[in-house]
Amino acid sequence: MLADQMIGRIEYVHVKNFIHRDIKPDNFLMGIGRHCNKLFLIDFGLAKKDDMESLGYVLMYFNRGTLPWQGLKAATKKQKYEKISEKVKLFDGLRLKMQARFKARFFRLVVLGRVTSKLQFITMVIA
């Protein structure tokens, strides 16, 4: 499954003491030829602790085709960012609407990772 490979790639990067920080669909590529079933993670220009949270948003994007805060209109950038912030804060409600394989378990682990001082990986199965 694609999500399994995505999580594995990010975990590998973290085990090597790197943090990607720019997790988005554009930075995952599928191989060609004999590697056509292999996923590659590219663009290591940034670094931070939020990789797993970003992956959650990528998986939501793949599942829904959009993110709830995409395309918001506002008179100023400040107002737009405030609207985006409000939508992101309502993220808990969105977990309930996601399909079974992407339900709350993954995002609970992401939030847990956000509040711990050390990056820890919990082996999980996304059914």
Catalytic center residues: 22
Spatial separation of the C-alpha atoms in residues 14 and 121, rounded to whole Å: 9
For residue 19 the two structure tokens come to: 């943090």
Spatial separation of the C-alpha atoms in residues 80 and 86, rounded to whole Å: 10
DSSP secondary structure code for residue 32 in this structure: -
Burial of 71 per CB tally in 10 Å (0-12, 13-18, 19+): exposed
For residue 89 the two structure tokens come to: 């804060």
Strand spans (E) along 74-122 = none
